[in-house]
Structure 1
Amino acid sequence: MHRMQIMTTSFSHSGLPISLKDQVEVEGTNFTMCYVGWVGKKAEHNAIIAEILLKQGAVLYCRTNMSQGLWFGEGYNNLFGRTTNPYNRNVTCGGSSGGEGALIGLRGSLLGVGSDIGGSVRIPAAYQGLYGLRGSYARIPYSKATNSSEGQEIVRSVLGPLTVSIDGLKLFYKSVLDARPWNLDPWTPRMPWSEERYNLSEHGEGNKLCFAIMWDDGVCIPAPPYKRALEETKKALLAAGHEVVDWVPFKSAEAVEIITSIWNSDGGHDIKKQLALSGEPQLGYNLDPNARDMPAHELFDLCFRRTNYIKSALDHWNATAIQTSTGRPVDAIITPASACAPQQHDTTMYLGYTGFCNLMDYTTSVFPVTKVDPKVDIKEPREKFLSTDDKRNYDAYDPEFQRGAPCSLQVVGGKYEEEAVIKLTEIVDAAIKAKRAAT
Structure 2
Amino acid sequence: MPRAKVTIASGASWQDVAADRQRHRDATIASLNPPLRDLPADIPLDTTRVPESMLTAEELEITSQNVEDLIPKLASGHWSAETVIQAFMRRAGLAQRLTNCVTELLLKAVKRAAELDKYLANTGKTVGPLHGIPISIKEHIGLKGCDLNAGFVGWVGRVAEADSLILQILWDAGAVFYVRTTQPQTLMHLETSSNLYGTTVNPHNTTLTAGGSSGGEGALIGSRGSILGIGTDIGGSIRSPAANNGIFGFKPTAPRLPVSGWSATMAGSEAILGTIGPLSTSLEGISLFVRTVLSARPWLREPSLVAIPWREEERGRKLRVGVIWDDGVVRPHPPITAALSRVVEKLKESGEVEVVDWECWKHDLAWEIIAKLYFCDGGAEEKAAIASSGEPWMPLSKWILLDNPHVREHTIPTLWQAQQERDLYRTSYAALWNARDVDVILCPAGPGVAPKLETSRYWGYTSQWNLLNYPAISFPIGSKVGGEYKAYEYPTNYEPLSESDRYNYALWREHGVEGYVGAPVSLQLVGRIYEDEKLLRDLNTLLDAAGLSKTC
**Structure 2 residue aligned with 1:274:** 385
Decide whether the 8 Å contact of 1:263 with 1:287 is kept in 2.
no
2-side partners of 1:289 and 1:215: how far apart?
29
Decide whether the 8 Å contact of 2:259 with 2:276 is kept in 1.
yes
Amino acid across the alignment from 1:2:
N
Match of 1:6 among 84, 92, 105: 105
How far apart are residue 101 of structure 1 and its match? Answer: 0.2
Decide whether the 8 Å contact of 1:233 with 1:432 is kept in 2.
yes
| Bigger share in helix | 2
1-side partners of 2:283 and 2:372: how far apart?
34
Amino acid across the alignment from 1:399:
V
2-side partners of 1:186 and 1:289: how far apart?
37
**Structure 2 residue aligned with 1:44:** 161
Decide whether the 8 Å contact of 2:191 with 2:456 is kept in 1.
no
Matched, 1:293 2:409: yes
Matched, 1:238 2:348: yes
Instruction: Summarize deviations over 1:85-131 as a string: whole Å, max 9, x none.
Output: 00000111110100000000000000100000000000100000111
> 1:173-184 counterparts in 2 under 5 A?
173-184=290-301
**Structure 1 residue aligned with 2:180:** 63
> Closer, same or farther in 2 for the Cα pair 1:59/1:245, shift >3 Å?
same
Match of 1:95 among 212, 224, 231: 212
1-side partners of 2:264 and 2:438: how far apart?
35
Amino acid across the alignment from 2:310:
W
Structure 1 unaligned runs (5+)?
321-328
2-side partners of 1:347 and 1:145: how far apart?
27
2-side partners of 1:395 and 1:148: how far apart?
34
1-side partners of 2:543 and 2:416: how far apart?
41
Decide whether the 8 Å contact of 1:137 with 1:158 is kept in 2.
yes
**Structure 2 residue aligned with 1:16:** 133
How far apart are residue 8 of structure 1 and its match? Answer: 3.4
How far apart are residue 38 of structure 1 and its match? Answer: 2.2
2-side partners of 1:282 and 1:155: how far apart?
24
Decide whether the 8 Å contact of 2:106 with 2:180 is kept in 1.
yes
> 1:105-254 counterparts in 2 under 5 A?
105-196=222-313, 199-200=314-315, 204=316, 207-241=317-351, 242-254=353-365
**Structure 1 residue aligned with 2:46:** none
Matched, 1:316 2:446: no
1-side partners of 2:161 and 2:262: how far apart?
11
> 1:66-81 counterparts in 2 under 5 A?
66-81=183-198
Decide whether the 8 Å contact of 2:449 with 2:522 is kept in 1.
no
> Closer, same or farther in 2 for the Cα pair 1:264/1:145, shift >3 Å?
closer
2-side partners of 1:231 and 1:268: how far apart?
40
Decide whether the 8 Å contact of 1:34 with 1:69 is kept in 2.
yes
How far apart are residue 332 of structure 1 and its match? Answer: 0.6
Instruction: Summarize deviations over 1:62-88 as a string: whole Å, max 9, x none.
Output: 110011121111111000001100000
2-side partners of 1:57 and 1:395: how far apart?
49
State the secondary structure of the residue aligned to 1:400.
helix
Instruction: Summarize deviations over 1:41-64 as a string: whole Å, max 9, x none.
Output: 321111111111111111111110
State the secondary structure of the residue aligned to 1:186.
coil
Decide whether the 8 Å contact of 2:201 with 2:210 is kept in 1.
yes
Decide whether the 8 Å contact of 1:122 with 1:365 is kept in 2.
yes
State the secondary structure of the residue aligned to 1:399.
helix
Amino acid across the alignment from 2:367:
V
1-side partners of 2:220 and 2:391: how far apart?
26
Amino acid across the alignment from 1:301:
Q
Match of 1:334 among 424, 437, 442: 442
Match of 1:420 among 534, 538, 544: 534
Farther off after superposition, 56-65 or 187-196: 187-196
Decide whether the 8 Å contact of 1:268 with 1:289 is kept in 2.
no
How far apart are residue 303 of structure 1 and its match? Answer: 0.4
Instruction: Summarize deviations over 1:245-293 as a string: whole Å, max 9, x none.
Output: 0001011000011001111321111111211221112221222357442
> Closer, same or farther in 2 for the Cα pair 1:372/1:434, shift >3 Å?
closer
2-side partners of 1:409 and 1:349: how far apart?
18
Matched, 1:305 2:416: no
TM-score scaled by length of structure 2: 0.74
Matched residue count:
420
> Closer, same or farther in 2 for the Cα pair 1:232/1:93, shift >3 Å?
same
**Structure 1 residue aligned with 2:126:** none
Decide whether the 8 Å contact of 1:225 with 1:407 is kept in 2.
yes
How far apart are residue 346 of structure 1 and its match? Answer: 1.1
2-side partners of 1:61 and 1:16: how far apart?
10
**Structure 1 residue aligned with 2:515:** 401
How far apart are residue 434 of structure 1 and its match? Answer: 6.1
Decide whether the 8 Å contact of 1:340 with 1:349 is kept in 2.
no
> Closer, same or farther in 2 for the Cα pair 1:434/1:313, shift >3 Å?
closer
Matched, 1:347 2:455: yes
Match of 2:473 among 352, 358, 365: 365
Amino acid across the alignment from 2:343:
T
State the secondary structure of the residue aligned to 2:180.
strand
State the secondary structure of the residue aligned to 1:210.
strand
Amino acid across the alignment from 1:42:
V
Amino acid across the alignment from 1:234:
V
Decide whether the 8 Å contact of 1:367 with 1:429 is kept in 2.
no
**Structure 2 residue aligned with 1:325:** none
Q: Relative CO higher for 1 or 2, CA cutoff 8 Å, sep ≥ 6?
A: 1
2-side partners of 1:432 and 1:331: how far apart?
17
TM-score scaled by length of structure 1: 0.92
| % identical aligned pairs | 39
1-side partners of 2:258 and 2:208: how far apart?
32
**Structure 2 residue aligned with 1:323:** none
How far apart are residue 333 of structure 1 and its match? Answer: 0.6
